[in-house]
């Protein structure tokens, strides 16, 4: 008997805090067009009102199919990070998996609609240096159930690479991004096994781009880069000031706010890693106005390479479960790559 046929009256996904279209149909993000069609047909048969199903649930399933079944709409949906809805919880919440249950979609052997199973994250609070734990756990998959992400993909610490975009300044932009990516790979990822670096994402809701995103547990750091001349600078909260000259950092505040709305279960902040021409990680020397120190408490944090590494690692490690790789969060981030 199908899960939904037997338990639809006990539990319906309508009213869940957040469900993507993939979750509604019980599909992995890598699902083929055939998988999507099969999943929809099976779900529609079970939930159709003429068969005694829930009309609201049927509408939700139909909406999911109308988006995922259309290649153009599916691509646009993926690049919006699969935003099916928002949690009513306040932005900035640091609630982790120990405070919420996981209604995770399952799929049968054909990759079709399999309903939801209730799984919870490990009760013990792990540390950033602990081995990565995957949520939902691969070991808990039912026979033939399709995981949200292939295990090999989920275990990969780095996804994507800086890519050329635009005409003017493309080479210098690539060099800055490559330097930041290398810094993260060498000095951040080795100490946090669950941390994942995703390069080359589209900015939500517009045509811009995001250089890098770091995620560990339920903390997300959006990372941009800039290169400045040698010397001492002062950060006033909006500009880097060097004598009579000012340098504007990448505009990460809109992206940080949008990501917080898209991922209400996570704590989101952003960092600008400031590189100097010398390659010295401790340069440039930056003096901070009161309240602008880059400790992760601000939506935008600006720091030289050495301080960026130290503070970003502290931010990620201080999350409630920094050793968790949440496949829902990671899958949606990977969908935003361009």
pLDDT at 8: 37
pLDDT at 171: 79
Which pair of structure tokens corresponds to residue 127? 């540390």
pLDDT at 205: 67
pLDDT at 3: 31
Which pair of structure tokens corresponds to residue 285? 């020397």
In three-state form (DSSP H/G/I as H, E/B as E, the rest C), the secondary structure along the chain is CCHHHHHCCCCCCCCCCCCCHHHHHCCCCCCCHHHHHHHHHHHHHHHCHHHCCCHHHHHHHHHHHHHHCCHHHHHHHHHCCCCCCCCCCCCCCCCCHHHCCEEEEEECCCCCEEEEEEECCCCCCCCCCCCCEEECCHHHCCCCCCCCCCHHHHHCCEECCCCCCCCCCHHHHHHHHHHHHHHHHHHCHHHCCCCEEEEEEECCCCCCEEEEEEEECCEEEEEEEEEECCCEEEECCCCEEECCEEECCCCCHHHHHHHHHHCCCCEEEEEEEEEECCCCCCCCEEEECCCCCCCCCCCEEEEEHHHHHHHHHHHHHCCCCCCEEEHHHHHHHHHCEC
Residue 274's nearest CA partner among 299, 243, 239, 244 is 239
10-residue stretch averages of pLDDT, the chain, 338 residues long: 34 49 84 89 87 86 91 85 47 36 34 38 71 93 83 94 66 88 96 95 80 95 91 89 87 90 91 92 92 88 95 93 93 84
pLDDT at 166: 57
0.85 surpassed by pTM: no
């Amino acid at each position: 008997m199908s899960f939904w046929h037997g338990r639809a009256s006990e539990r319906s996904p309508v009213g869940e805090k957040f469900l993507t279209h993939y979750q509604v149909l019980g599909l992995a993000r890598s699902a083929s067009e055939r998988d999507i069609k099969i999943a929809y047909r099976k779900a529609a048969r079970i939930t159709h009102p003429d068969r005694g199903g829930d009309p609201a649930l049927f509408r939700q399933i139909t909406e999911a199919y109308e988006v995922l079944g259309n290649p153009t709409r599916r691509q646009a949906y993926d690049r919006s990070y699969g935003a099916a809805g928002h949690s009513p919880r306040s932005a900035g919440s640091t609630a982790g998996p120990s405070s919420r249950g996981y209604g995770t979609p399952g799929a049968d052997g054909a990759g079709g609609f399999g309903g939801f199973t209730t799984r919870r994250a490990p009760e013990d609070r792990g540390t950033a240096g602990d081995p990565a734990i995957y949520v939902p756990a691969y070991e808990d998959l039912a026979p033939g159930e399709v995981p949200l992400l292939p295990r090999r993909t989920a275990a990969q610490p780095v996804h994507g690479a800086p890519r050329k975009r635009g005409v003017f300044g493309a080479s210098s932009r690539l060099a800055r991004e490559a330097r930041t990516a290398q810094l993260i790979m060498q000095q951040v990822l080795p100490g946090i096994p669950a941390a994942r670096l995703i390069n080359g994402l589209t900015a939500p809701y517009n045509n811009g781009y995001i250089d890098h995103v770091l995620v560990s547990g339920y903390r997300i750091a959006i990372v941009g880069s800039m290169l400045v001349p040698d010397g001492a600078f002062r950060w006033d909260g909006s500009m880097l000031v060097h004598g009579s000259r000012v340098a504007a950092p990448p505009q990460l505040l809109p992206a940080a706010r949008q990501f917080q709305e898209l991922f209400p279960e996570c704590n989101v902040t952003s960092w600008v890693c400031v590189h100097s021409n010398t390659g010295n990680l401790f340069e440039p020397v930056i003096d901070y106005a009161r309240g602008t120190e880059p400790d992760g408490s601000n939506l935008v944090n600006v720091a030289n390479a050495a301080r960026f590494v130290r503070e970003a690692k502290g931010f990620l490690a201080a999350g409630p479960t920094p050793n968790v790789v949440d496949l829902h969060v990671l899958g949606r981030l990977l969908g935003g790559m361009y």
